[in-house]
Structure 1
Amino acid sequence: MAKATQSNALSWRDITPAPLVLLSGPEEYFAQRARDLLRRQLRQEHPDLEITSFDASEYTAGSLTVACSPSLFGEFKLIEVTRLEAMNDAFLSDGLALAAGGAEDAVVLLRHGGGVRGKKLLDALKAAWPVIDCQPLKKETDKNTFVSAEFRAANRRIEGTAVTALVQAVGSQTAELAGACQQLMEDTTGTITAEVVEKYYGGRVEASAFKVADAALDGDAATALTTLRYALDTGADPVPLVAALAAKLRTLARVAGSRGSASLIAKELGMQPWLVEQAQRDVRRWTPENLRRCVQAVAEADAQVKGLSRDPVYAVERVVHLVATSVRSR
């Protein structure tokens, strides 16, 4: 792999293997997507890929040289280095040497979350190697572009008015916005319209079905219930709130019952690979019994909020609490 000179930072979607790749900026969601995509690309070409990780703030001099040395059995290597924003002097010195020549039979993925620490190294990397832009989406136009790209990548159509409505409803965090896109794609068919977005996300600005479901599946019962109460108080319908829980649990259940690499599972299930990898990480916090119980409880709650219960609010509160307390602590 030759040097890849970049005058402008690339999107995470454009990441490709190179001897050195820099993930630059504080948006961890983009960094994770880029990291997952690069891993998939390398594993497709090198099934026996060897991955080594370093924390630049705790780095020991000479470690990069050893890690980049040819493997005894010839495995290709991916070396991931995090926390360049807190790098120690030993890493700065070794990083500068590596930036000058790159690595052979290896890709070194460097994560810098922001700040000025190691500016000399950053300048050297940006002058010679690919840089992936991991800056937060601050402008509404950038968020609109991101949403459109998510649906386009999944071969789904979304109307412009629906893009705007979705960004206005859940556009405060990139990961939340991506999750909302995925939920709509999983729970609907055909073109996404503004009416569809209104059904799932209407009536609230900060609180959303995604936030409630995310907190519940993270095992944070207090945040999940507080966010749920705020969502309900600001006019949210219990139906999409339960639907968000169902979508996330359904993804976990599908991935838990599959075997193979994330790319293979994604192809078999018709899911995006990054979502499979995230679900594989999350499902480790669930026992099969608890997952089955919660899937069943959410199915019952779905029927209750659609008319079988006189108190749909109680039904959704109860199932949110059940899910949140069924997750094993980290």
Structure 2
Amino acid sequence: MAPAWTPCRSGGVGDVWQAERVPPARRAPSRASARPSGGLSWEEVGLAPVVLVAGAEGVLADRAVDRLVSLARAADAAVEVTRPDAAEYTTGMLGVVTSPSLFAEDRVVVVDGLERAGDELLADALAYLDAPPADAVLVLRHGGGQRGKKLLDAIRASGAPVVACDVVKSDADKSAFVVAELRRAGRRADAQAVRALVDAVGSDLRELASACAQLVADTSGLIGPDVVERYYGGRIEASGFRVADAAVAGQAGQAVALLRHAMATGVDPVPIVAALALKLRTMAKVAAVRGRGAGALRELGLAPWQTDRAVADLRRWTPEGLASAFAAVAQADAEVKGEGRDPQFAVERAVLRVAQAAGL
């Protein structure tokens, strides 16, 4: 059970904590925000004496911290914000930065890099959990790993809010992130535009957020694939996913041309092979269950556009062709990761073999 936090004085952050102990009904978070660990999304977290921001997705962690600081400043414009670094912590520092000041301002203390914390910080933070002051917000940011596990477990057991900032890896979650970014800005994009944007800049969530912000600032109305093409067309054409799409379609010439352009612009062979492998795995999953109906396809956990695209791609593929393509990609994967002398040659050969296998 969470401690029964009580406000220390009217108008401060303590009153906000008391008001937020019974959360209002809210819409379900987007797929990119909902986390299997059971934590809150950065959009949901509210003020509390102790808040844990856990996970390696930096853009989500930054937003959680910024939101908490903004909420504290909305409650008390004179709130004092302190940001000690976990690696530079010395014994007793936590008590100093959270103790009442001469003018009794509320305080927000953001400790970054808890995964790098020494024993002094971990011990002080554990002791702090027993009786946190009501007019301070302590935000502990942990980037992942096992360091400080005892403290993390204690924070969760105390009932303190935990913001889950897990790395967003799948294309479906990245697409959901784009949709949520645009929705917050009062904008929408059609499904093709969302996929095109993920294909172009989806390797890094911070870059994807920046791309959304640029499209919102520079365009109006519904964002379509033509708009994304205008801003990020070169990157889309050079992406591993476009190479994979052309290869799976049996378009050997186009696939090789896209591949050479991608590598000429600095794209590493490894993610291109990974894109080929992902494309083939998706097709194999869909091929294995498509005869069992729509329900079985939904159980795969793929986005609808991924399933539709795989079904369309499979019309030109045989089981023998898929087996041959998998063998070519497996060989390329080993060679681009150190077993071959020429990674670029290895990936180009794999692209050609996949394109040829489409006609087997």
Q: TM-score range by the shorter chain?
A: 0.5 to 0.7
Residue number among 43, 50, 54 corresponding to 2:80 in the alignment = 50
1:5 deviates by 11
Q: Does 1:37 align with 2:67?
A: yes
Per the normalisation by structure 1, the TM-score is: 0.60
Cα offset, 1:207, TM superposition: 7.1
Moved more, 192-201 or 165-174: 192-201
Structure 1, unpaired ranges of 5+: 209-229, 235-330
Give, in whole Å, the separation in 2 of the partners of 1:104 and 1:198.
Answer: 52
Structure 1 residue 99 displacement after superposition: 2.2
Shift in Å at residue 145 of structure 1?
A: 0.9
Contact map agreement 1:5 1:130 (CA 8 A) in 2: no
Q: Give 1:38 deviation, angstroms.
A: 1.6
| Cα deviation, residue 231, structure 1 | 7.7
**Between 51-60 and 141-150, the greater mean CA deviation after superposition:** 51-60
Cα offset for 1:137?
A: 0.9
Aligned equivalents of 1:72, 1:91: Cα separation in 2: 25
User: Against the structure 1 CA distance between its residues 116 and 232, is the aligned structure 2 distance closer, same or farther, given a 3 Å change threshold?
Assistant: closer
- Percent identity at matched positions? 49
**Pair 1:115 & 2:115 matched:** no
Contact (CA 8 Å) 1:22, 1:130: kept in 2 or not?
yes
Is residue 203 of structure 1 aligned with residue 234 of structure 2?
yes
Q: Tell me, yes or no, if the aligned pair for 1:4 and 1:18 is still in contact at 8 Å.
A: no
> How do residues 1-330 of structure 1 correspond to structure 2 at under 5 angstroms?
1=17, 8-127=38-157, 128-205=159-236
| Structure with larger Rg | 2
Distance 1:45 1:31, change over 3 A: same
Secondary structure of the residue that 1:138 maps to in structure 2?
coil
Secondary structure of residue in 2 paired with 1:13: coil
Cα 1:83/1:206, change in 2 over 3 Å = farther
Kept in 2, the 8 Å contact 1:170–1:206? The answer is no
* 3-state SS of paired residue (2:84): strand
Give the whole-Å Cα distance in 2 for the aligned partners of 1:188 and 1:110: 38
**Deviation string for 1:39-86 (max 9, x for gaps)?**
112111111110112222222222212222222212110011111101
The alignment partner of 1:167 has SS state of helix
Q: Take 1:79 and 1:207, find their aligned partners in 2: how far apart are those partners?
A: 44
Take 1:232 and 1:94, find their aligned partners in 2: how far apart are those partners?
A: 51
Distance 2:206 2:127 in 1: 35
Q: Contact between 2:196 and 2:236, CA under 8 Å: does it hold in 1?
A: no
CA distance in 2: counterparts of 1:85 and 1:53, whole angstroms: 16
